Amino acid sequence: MRTTFQTTVLYGWLTLVALLALGQDTSRGDQAWDDLESQLRHSGVQTNTSSLIKAALANPAESLRWMAIEVLGLRGEQEARPALRRILSEDSSRLLQESAALALARLKDETGIPALRQFMRTSTHPQRQLFLAARLAEFGDSTGYQFVKEATTSKDEQLRYVSVASLVPFIPFEVANHLAIDPLERLIALASDKDPAIRKEALIEFSLAVPKGAPLERLKEVAIRMKNDPETSVQQAADSFLALWSMK
């Protein structure tokens, strides 16, 4: 059951990351954490700051504690820092400790990034390791790239699939900082993976790569070629990418 919850957390966070990368619908006032708040309220947890802190510390449901921690970090609730530090240092749940470290990093607390690095290095779950590496990259820390690089050529198709989204936060290091890493090349290579789900995911991530500095024209060339993919879903993903960026 716990493994199922951790998988749910991972893919829930990938969705949030995509929303943050693409931006919110400001005309409606939507925020990336609105769905989490809605789920919390549906479960009887109020979403004001003090209630979220209380839920993060003591709610009997681990899933609700996780949601509260994430919302506190995403909303930038600075008064939550003592509670998050307590979870980081004392909680028995590794997942909640990692989530607290991420929230603290978002709050620019000095304990956040070092803790994320340690959790990444010591994780025994490769998919979670990739997730943490990608989050560190969003904070300007490229130390986890080796984990992502290795996953892109893994024999495990699920690991390759997760590596696609994990590559995108590293693109600024290659494009703007000119570090000797190759996330863009690996992302493009995954668009030709033997697994159609991975090819489709790569095309979807192209739209997140462009705002990170990936050259649009080069990605368009790949997408145009992928319009001839034997899989309909991959063709549709290519068409969607080209349609979206033809309007930019």
Q: Are residues 114 and 5 in the same domain?
A: yes
Does residue 246 fall inside a structural domain? yes
Q: Are residues 9 and 117 in the same domain?
A: yes
| Residue 128 located in a structural domain | no
Domain that holds residue 182: 144-248
What are 106-153's pLDDT values in tens digits?
Answer: 999 999 999 999 999 999 999 999 999 999 999 999 999 999 999 999
Burial 65-91 (b: 16+ CB within 10 A, else e): bbbbbbbbbbbebeebbebbbebbeeb
Do 161 and 201 touch, CB atoms closer than 8 A?
A: yes
Burial category of 24 from C-beta neighbours within 10 Å (exposed 0-12, middle 13-18, buried 19 and up):
middle
Model pLDDT, residue 31: 81
- Count Cβ atoms within 10 A of the Cβ of residue 137 and give its class: 0-12 exposed, 13-18 middle, 19 or more buried: buried
**Per-residue pLDDT for 28 more than 70?**
no
118/148 same-domain check: no
Domain termination residue (choose one: 122, 153, 177):
122
With respect to residue 243, please indicate whether it lies within any of the assigned structural domains.
yes
Domain boundary among 122, 154, 182: 122
> How many domains does one find in the chain?
2
- Provide the whole-model pTM: 0.86
pLDDT at 145: 97
Q: What is the CATH number of the domain that holds 203?
A: 1.25.10
- Write out pLDDT tens, residues 38-86: 999 999 999 999 999 999 999 999 999 999 999 999 999 999 999 999 9
Region for residue 44 given its phi and psi (left: phi exceeds 0; alpha: psi -120 to 50; beta: otherwise): left
Is the confidence at residue 248, as pLDDT, over 80?
no
Same domain, 166 and 77: no
